[in-house]
Amino acid sequence: MSSLLITNAQLVTLDDNNRVIDGGSVYIEDTKIVDVGSLDTESYTPDRTIDAGGKLVMPGLIIAHHHLYSTFARGFTPPGPPATNFDENLRFLWWKLDSVLDTDDVYYSSLLALMDAALSGCTTVIDHHASPACCDGSLDWVERAFMDVGLSGCLCYEVSDRNRAGEGIEENERYIRKCREAGDGQMTALFGMHASMTLSDETLQRCSAIGNDLGAGFHVHAAEDKIDVETTRDRYGKRVLDRFHEFGITGDKTIFVHGTHFEPDEMDLLHDTGSMLVSNPESNMNNGLPVSPFLDMLDHGVLVGVGTDGMSSHVISQARAMYMHQRTLHQDPTLGFVEACEVLLWNNPRICNRLFAEPRGALAAGQLADVVIYNYVPFTPLRADTFYGHLLFGLGFSRVHTTIARGDVIVDAGDIPHLDENGVRAFCTERASSIWSRIQ
């Protein structure tokens, strides 16, 4: 059994009492937090002690929706005419990129993005993957990257009919069963789908039958752009969420992503079925899409989380964008600040705690030992009632000193000691050029 003691910390516990403790300590054994607070540190004999030097210590962050495979798109300009709408952006960029990925591309795009996640204080990622040229077994390569970095992950494969009917169904089923059999807690799975507009009734029925038979939730894009809404209405005479609900896709382990075009009745349906919604504000802005009505969804009682949608692995910036997006939309400087912080710090862990067996998101006894030490010493008072300001205007611009995931130190003094970070980045630069050259 390994043990770790963090001392001399400014603890932001995010526990049931939402305590901020100056000069506090955290004691960890194996993968679990054992004790938190103003501890008698002399009574412990840990394998390692980390003196936080007064730095801020808090639970590891969670990305509730990512596309790790998109890593190599950074800086790339697709051949041909520029995309002028969301549909063209899918067809001209994303579906061309994912179609040329091989297993090494899948692994290294995941590895690089997960390294960045760890360096930004994130310890759990819920990912949505697609790689049609190497669909079968692809989630094992994504999993390998999680294992090599040390983070926890929830994976799925994006089923659609755009290449062949039901592509990815077997990969989802295989990987869900694999995670059940492994049972180690680090990796879990959902049944992934792209969007209503790329899924026939036959494919939806197959996904629903297999996913529900396995007792798995689903991870699916919904009403991200008006083309999804219009295509679903024109082909099937239904609204997007109504169609998914009729096929048994809704439920308390299901994540719907985006929902920028959901109507109030659909928000009620999300609430009534216990379904979750993950907003991705920077991605929506980048695609020229409407502002996600996440405040309305919260008012309807929906469990709303926040993700990065492959834009980056820096989730604090997404919470910052969430509230600014709302203030611009409504021209009201009183909206969204507290709600965006609570979505990131409280709702993302609630989402994870429906999907993973091990609770996370707080510095408290029995919680998973996912802990981050930031190179951040505040120059204004930091208390429970002021922390949100420090989160969005301080921590979001600060470097991580230490990231502890599942009790292991995976970022140490700003470096990832068990990986050749510079070598990986140099290799990925070369690999990106190779991928770009294959895109026609």
Over residues 106-118, the pLDDT tens digits come to 999 999 999 999 9
Question: What ranges in 167-225 are assigned the alpha helix state H?
Answer: 169-182, 201-214
Tell me the average pLDDT of the chain: 96
Most distant CA pair in the chain: distance in Å?
69
> Residues 140-162: what's their mean pLDDT?
98
Q: Which amino acid is at 64?
A: A
pLDDT for the residue numbered 78: 85
Secondary element (H or E) of residue 5: strand 3-12
- Torsions phi, psi for 43 (to 5 deg): -85, -5
| Strands 400-405 and 408-412, bridge-based pairing | antiparallel
- Count CA atoms closer than 13 A to 182's CA, side-chain side: 15
Tokens found for residue 240: 């997007």
Rounded distance between C-alpha atoms, residue 346 and residue 15, angstroms: 10
Cα 365 to Cα 55, 71, 267, 330, 357: the distances in Å are 21, 36, 35, 41, 15
Put simply, whether the predicted model's pTM sits higher than 0.85 gets the answer: yes
Rounded distance between C-alpha atoms, residue 224 and residue 94, angstroms: 15
Would you list the domain boundaries of the chain? Answer: 3-60+358-412, 61-355
Nearest to 124 by CA among 311, 253, 281, 307: 307
CB under 8 Å to 381, separation ≥6 — which residues?
none
Residue 20 β-bridge partners: 12
Rounded distance between C-alpha atoms, residue 56 and residue 324, angstroms: 25
- 422 pLDDT higher than 90: yes
Residue 258 pLDDT grade (very low, low, confident, very high; cuts 50, 70, 90): very high
For helices 103-119 and 421-438, what crossing angle results, to 10°? 140
Question: Could you give the 3-state DSSP secondary structure of residue 386?
Answer: coil
CB under 8 Å to 80, separation ≥6 — which residues?
92
pLDDT for the residue numbered 83: 86
- 90 pLDDT higher than 90: no
Assess whether the region 3-60+358-412 and the region 61-355 belong to the same CATH fold: no
| Residues 51-80: tens digit of each pLDDT | 999 999 999 999 999 999 999 989 888 888
| Strands 276-279 and 400-405, bridge-based pairing | unpaired
CB 42 within 8 A of CB 54: no
Task: Give strand ranges (E) for 202-279.
Answer: 218-222, 255-258, 276-279
Rounded distance between C-alpha atoms, residue 4 and residue 408, angstroms: 9
| Residues 288-328: tens digit of each pLDDT | 898 889 999 999 999 999 999 999 999 999 999 999 999 99
- Count CA atoms closer than 13 A to 400's CA, side-chain side: 26
Residue 213 pLDDT grade (very low, low, confident, very high; cuts 50, 70, 90): very high
Is the CATH number of domain 61-355 3.40.50.300? no
CB 80 within 8 A of CB 439: no
pLDDT for the residue numbered 98: 87
pLDDT for the residue numbered 290: 87
Nearest to 223 by CA among 169, 275, 171, 167: 275
3-60+358-412: which CATH number, 3.40.50.720, 3.90.550.10, 2.30.40.10, 3.20.20.70? 2.30.40.10
pLDDT for the residue numbered 93: 85
| Residues 357-389: tens digit of each pLDDT | 999 999 999 999 999 999 998 999 999 999 999
Nearest to 194 by CA among 152, 237, 223: 223
Tracing tokens 């912080």 back to the chain, one arrives at 341
CB 153 within 8 A of CB 143: yes
CB 222 within 8 A of CB 240: yes
In the chain, the N- to C-terminal Cα span, in Å, equals 53
Residue 257 β-bridge partners: 221, 278
Residue 4 β-bridge partners: 28, 48
Residue 94 pLDDT grade (very low, low, confident, very high; cuts 50, 70, 90): confident
Q: Which amino acid is at 263?
A: E
Taking the CA atoms of residue 248, residue 252, residue 254 and residue 256 in that order, the dihedral angle to the nearest 10 degrees is 100
Cα 246 to Cα 13, 169, 250: the distances in Å are 41, 19, 9
CB 171 within 8 A of CB 139: yes
Tracing tokens 């000691």 back to the chain, one arrives at 417
pLDDT for the residue numbered 77: 86
Give CA angle at 19 (17, 22), nearest 5°: 160
Residue 440 pLDDT grade (very low, low, confident, very high; cuts 50, 70, 90): confident
Lowest mean pLDDT among 32-36, 191-195, 248-252, 432-436: 432-436
Tokens found for residue 435: 């991928």
Residue 135 pLDDT grade (very low, low, confident, very high; cuts 50, 70, 90): very high
Instruction: Classify 324 in phi/psi space as left (phi over 0), alpha (psi -120 to 50) or beta.
Output: alpha
Rounded distance between C-alpha atoms, residue 57 and residue 339, angstroms: 22
